[in-house]
Structure 1
Amino acid sequence: MERREVESFFAKATGVRALVIGDLMLDEYLWGRTERISPEAPVQVVEVSREDLRLGGAGNVVNNLVALGCSVTVCSVIGDDDNGALLRRAFEKIGADLSGVVEEPGRRTSKKTRVIAANQQIVRIDRETTAPISSSCESALLQYLSENAEHFNVILVSDYLKGVLTPALLAALCQTGRELSIPVVVDPKGKDYGKYRGATILTPNRKEAEAASGTAITDLPSLEAAADTLLSELELDALLITRSEQGMSLFFNDGAATHIPTVAREVFDVTGAGDTVLSVLSLGLACGLPLAKAAWVANVAAGIAVGKLGTSTVSPDEIVAEVGHGQKDSDSKIKNLDVVARIAAQERTRGKRIVFTNGCFDLLHVGHVKYLQKAREFGDMLIVGLNSDDSVRRLKGESRPLIDQAERAHILAALDCVDFVVIFDEDTPIRLIETIRPMVLVKGGDYTREGVVGHEIVEGYGGRIELVQFVAGRSTTRIIEKIMKNYS
């Protein structure tokens, strides 16, 4: 995927409503240093210098989704204890909807304490209840699902085997997803995957897939055999098996498969990486990305997550930067319309004046450059709408363009005076103008104000039209004529 396609994906995230159901817990981190052995017992003494409390389990999935920009509702069971109250406050702080959270009297809210020194865990302390939730709590969750499922774009199931996801609840989740055509994405646990039958996709790691399928995964054929077993027995649409340093493998129920290699990077902590995969993959499905592309972005996000200590989130900006790593600077200035519209809106709130112009810019010459430099002087940001190859052919004939749209876009983006380039396929830039809402619309001096497409739109909200004279004697047509004359 190109950077601008990933940017467009995240631009859609704000319209997604996700339901996360699963086991909630608190992850406590005690950071310190150790330089001596205790005189009381042969153990290290850790001098704690910092304490950190984070959302863990399904809570880390929620945290990831919020960081990615979508609206999240939580559905789970917690205890009526101090840790339960801390969980509620943490969710409220990030703006998650807790309407699906039920308290069970006497239940112990899960809390895992990790002691870290010299950038590695020394010990982990678990305080939790793992017994199945009460029948009354199960009924409350089933009722919530029945009354609210239709309002969500995707359902994420985060199973840590702490008792929330009962067989009846999982069966209802998968059935509801099928009936309402809502993707149900499951991060599974345990050996019995029969409880997930009918889900859209499962995301086990290699060891989990081995245990659930009963197949030792040692090479590609055994990996495919394990995937075939799980796909057929569980009636899944697809299966994504994460394979650590070997990347991910995506299998479909029609026999197709896609293997996604990992990006080499230093690994500090794999804690929560599976939550990141679940979150990004699910968001991709909710935004309409094909499964293979959603998995590809999830793989990029997981690579970033393992480079951080503890249950950490990954931001859209980090993912976009990673996708664009190693690309030329000009690539970062070529955007899809939805992305550049959001950027323009943000800049307007800061008082910036947006300038827009459009054209074919086929065989860029000094007349084009001077024109664009002058256009940039009318405001704080210049966005150029570039006619696609198909659009140019309709306007100028089958022999044009001389240079394809990708090359034309990169050449324009390389100019300092151009801030962003948007390729459009229509014959006119009306849709771009309506979406970007520039304050200054610029065209060549061979136009009249009334002849500029979109002038009434821009002037209607207080903008203006500027006409710029081209450099005399400079045009693509004249360059073509000269080449034909000299080299025919």
Structure 2
Amino acid sequence: MRITVVGDVLLDVDINGAATRLSPDAPVPVVDVADIRRRAGGAGLVATVLAHDGHEVALVTALGNDDGASHLRRALTGVSVLAGAPLAPTPTKTRVRIGTHPMVRFDEGCAPAPIPLSTAEMLAAIASAEAVVVADYGRGITTNPDIRTALAEAARRVPVVWDPHPAGSEPVAGVAVVTPNLAEATASATTGGLDPSRTGAEEAGRYLLGKWGSGAVLVTRGEDGAVLLSAGGRAQGIPALKTNVADPCGAGDRLAGSLAVHLRLGLELAQAATKAVEDASAFLAAGGAASLAVVGEAPAASPAVEFKGLELVDAGDLSPDGVHLARAVRSRGGTVVATGGCFDLLHAGHARTLAAARSMGDCLIVCLNSDESVRRLKGAHRPIVSVEDRAELLLALECVDAVVVFGEDTPEACLSEIRPDIWVKGGDYTPQELPEARLVAGWGGRCVTVPFHPARSTSGLAAALAKVS
């Protein structure tokens, strides 16, 4: 199913460890950090969950060029990110956990932000969607007038599920379902004049149903399930499966995404809402949002220029990585060189091209297509060699300092993180003809091409091997 998620993205950081002693300078626990895991939050979490379910997901959001945005792009592998300029830093929420218990949370960059910009591609993703989920986290994306117009038009033809936020904008009229939690619903209703002592989920939902002009309102109540209200219908309580969880983070995001899917599949409203509540409970039972952390790292010393390492963007947990290496080299006045490709069967032509690229600077970082990316580009019979083995072979070459695996069809997102001074590609065209030329020039880099080596290619090597197999 082709689903577009519209909303604000956050970077969630989990610092996990154990505490066995108190600090000598204050009566506070000392946390021995075991790992640091980063994941997409807010609308990014909705998109990630839907992508994991196998849907084709486009995320319409705002994303900057800071470190937080770089981590978000890695966490959003498998999602088509269509982003306007946010004019604000990436909001980051860092949770410190001892075992499974959250101890403290730090928020950075979460102050009110200007209204983000939109692009034609963002509006087209809304127009072409089979279902839309709006995950409003109060950062302004749903305030953009062009996006609101596109959402109102989408609501006339496909299911639109809107998960609101107290600091966000009101849903556009005509959306299928709005999914406030109980606290949000009662606060909005009492602001509208209802008696807080007599306002529960049903009363608040009825008020919001008329205020927002939506097809239905589903007031979520955590472990107590939800209450569904629709125009002309009776309130319907929906129980939730009992789960023993320490952190309910992400349940509402899971519910909103599932609800849109079930509505698109043709389920009646009550059936779709019941299934969505069940999905949210199952999501928490399976570990919740923390289980989706795809970028993990153990504490490490600052990388040296001679570092050789691998960063698996779509599933990795090794650090330092290629991005850190690039920053370290630049900080010492060095030149960062990058190249990219599938490198399915490593041959002499590859080795010569890589050696030539390394000679142009102080480090060489290889952007390597993931297995999924190779299949999309070259067909179901490729790759011949798995991404793990391809990366290991590349790192065995003295001229390669780091490998970064990317899951998209093109390396643009990967390049935006590394920001090489020189981007090297093999071919018989001019550097200006490279599709990455404009991107690399944006930060002052340049493109260089080196010639192909005749009679040395992956296809030729594969054909030769087939004759002797």
TM-score category by the smaller chain? 0.5 to 0.7
CA distance in structure 2 between the aligned counterparts of 1:218 and 1:170, rounded to whole angstroms: 37
Q: Please give the per-residue CA displacement for 1:43-67, whole angstroms capped at 9, x wherever unaligned.
A: 2211111221111111110111012
Sort the Cα spacing of 1:198 and 1:132 in 2 relative to 1 into closer, same or farther, 3 A: farther
CA distance in structure 2 between the aligned counterparts of 1:174 and 1:216, rounded to whole angstroms: 33
Counterpart of 2:65, as a letter, is: D
CA distance in structure 1 between the aligned counterparts of 2:12 and 2:37, rounded to whole angstroms: 8
Q: Which residue of 2 aligns with 1:50?
A: 35
1:138 maps onto 2:117 in alignment: yes
Residues 136 and 168, structure 2, Cα contact 8 Å, conserved in 1: no
Gaps in structure 1 of 5+ consecutive residues: 1-15, 315-348, 350-488
Q: Which residue of 2 aligns with 1:35?
A: 20
CA distance in structure 1 between the aligned counterparts of 2:226 and 2:149, rounded to whole angstroms: 29
Q: Please give the per-residue CA displacement for 1:66-90, whole angstroms capped at 9, x wherever unaligned.
A: 1222110011111111221221222
CA distance in structure 1 between the aligned counterparts of 2:224 and 2:169, rounded to whole angstroms: 24
1:171 maps onto 2:148 in alignment: yes
Q: Which residue of 2 aligns with 1:300?
A: 278
1:200 maps onto 2:183 in alignment: no
Residues 29 and 113, structure 1, Cα contact 8 Å, conserved in 2: yes
Give me the TM-score of the superposition, normalised by structure 2: 0.57
1:152 aligns with one of 107, 129, 132:
129
User: How many equivalent pairs are there?
Assistant: 290
1:289 aligns with one of 267, 277, 282:
267
CA distance in structure 1 between the aligned counterparts of 2:277 and 2:171, rounded to whole angstroms: 26
Partner of 1:85, secondary structure, is helix
Sort the Cα spacing of 1:193 and 1:256 in 2 relative to 1 into closer, same or farther, 3 A: farther
1:128 maps onto 2:105 in alignment: no
1:210 maps onto 2:192 in alignment: no
CA distance in structure 1 between the aligned counterparts of 2:100 and 2:221, rounded to whole angstroms: 24
Q: Which residue of 2 aligns with 1:188?
A: 164
1:26 maps onto 2:11 in alignment: yes
CA distance in structure 2 between the aligned counterparts of 1:60 and 1:192, rounded to whole angstroms: 18
CA distance in structure 2 between the aligned counterparts of 1:299 and 1:138, rounded to whole angstroms: 34
Residues 19 and 155, structure 1, Cα contact 8 Å, conserved in 2: yes
Counterpart of 2:84, as a letter, is: V
Q: Which residue of 2 aligns with 1:108?
A: 89
Sort the Cα spacing of 1:250 and 1:224 in 2 relative to 1 into closer, same or farther, 3 A: same
Partner of 2:126, secondary structure, is helix
1:96 aligns with one of 61, 71, 79:
79
Residues 77 and 133, structure 1, Cα contact 8 Å, conserved in 2: no
Residues 107 and 129, structure 1, Cα contact 8 Å, conserved in 2: no
Give 1:209 deviation, angstroms: 0.6
Partner of 2:76, secondary structure, is helix
Q: Which residue of 1 aligns with 2:138?
A: 161
Sort the Cα spacing of 1:17 and 1:166 in 2 relative to 1 into closer, same or farther, 3 A: same
Superposition RMSD on alpha carbons, in Å? 2.5
1:236 maps onto 2:214 in alignment: yes
CA distance in structure 1 between the aligned counterparts of 2:195 and 2:237, rounded to whole angstroms: 19
Give 1:144 deviation, angstroms: 3.4
Identity among equivalent positions (%) equals: 31
CA distance in structure 2 between the aligned counterparts of 1:174 and 1:30, rounded to whole angstroms: 37
Give 1:173 deviation, angstroms: 4.1
CA distance in structure 1 between the aligned counterparts of 2:176 and 2:185, rounded to whole angstroms: 16
Q: Which residue of 2 aligns with 1:118?
A: 99
Residues 159 and 189, structure 1, Cα contact 8 Å, conserved in 2: yes
Q: Which residue of 1 aligns with 2:64?
A: 79
Q: Please give the per-residue CA displacement for 1:214-251, whole angstroms capped at 9, x wherever unaligned.
A: 146778x8432221111111111001111123211111
CA distance in structure 2 between the aligned counterparts of 1:252 and 1:68, rounded to whole angstroms: 28
Give 1:33 deviation, angstroms: 0.9
CA distance in structure 2 between the aligned counterparts of 1:133 and 1:193, rounded to whole angstroms: 13
Sort the Cα spacing of 1:293 and 1:222 in 2 relative to 1 into closer, same or farther, 3 A: same
Judging by fraction of residues, say which structure has more helix.
1
1:245 maps onto 2:223 in alignment: yes
Give 1:158 deviation, angstroms: 0.6
CA distance in structure 1 between the aligned counterparts of 2:262 and 2:178, rounded to whole angstroms: 15
CA distance in structure 2 between the aligned counterparts of 1:287 and 1:267, rounded to whole angstroms: 30
CA distance in structure 2 between the aligned counterparts of 1:158 and 1:263, rounded to whole angstroms: 24
Give 1:185 deviation, angstroms: 0.8
Map of 1:275-286 to 2, 5 A cutoff?
A: 275-286=253-264
Sort the Cα spacing of 1:148 and 1:73 in 2 relative to 1 into closer, same or farther, 3 A: closer
Give 1:257 deviation, angstroms: 2.9
Sort the Cα spacing of 1:68 and 1:192 in 2 relative to 1 into closer, same or farther, 3 A: closer
Give 1:129 deviation, angstroms: 4.5
Q: Which residue of 2 aligns with 1:265?
A: 243
Gaps in structure 2 of 5+ consecutive residues: 293-379, 381-469
Give 1:42 deviation, angstroms: 2.7
Q: Which residue of 2 aligns with 1:428?
A: none
Give me the TM-score of the superposition, normalised by structure 1: 0.55
User: Of the two, which has the highest radius of gyration?
Assistant: 1
Residues 78 and 109, structure 1, Cα contact 8 Å, conserved in 2: yes
Residues 149 and 176, structure 1, Cα contact 8 Å, conserved in 2: no
Give 1:193 deviation, angstroms: 6.0
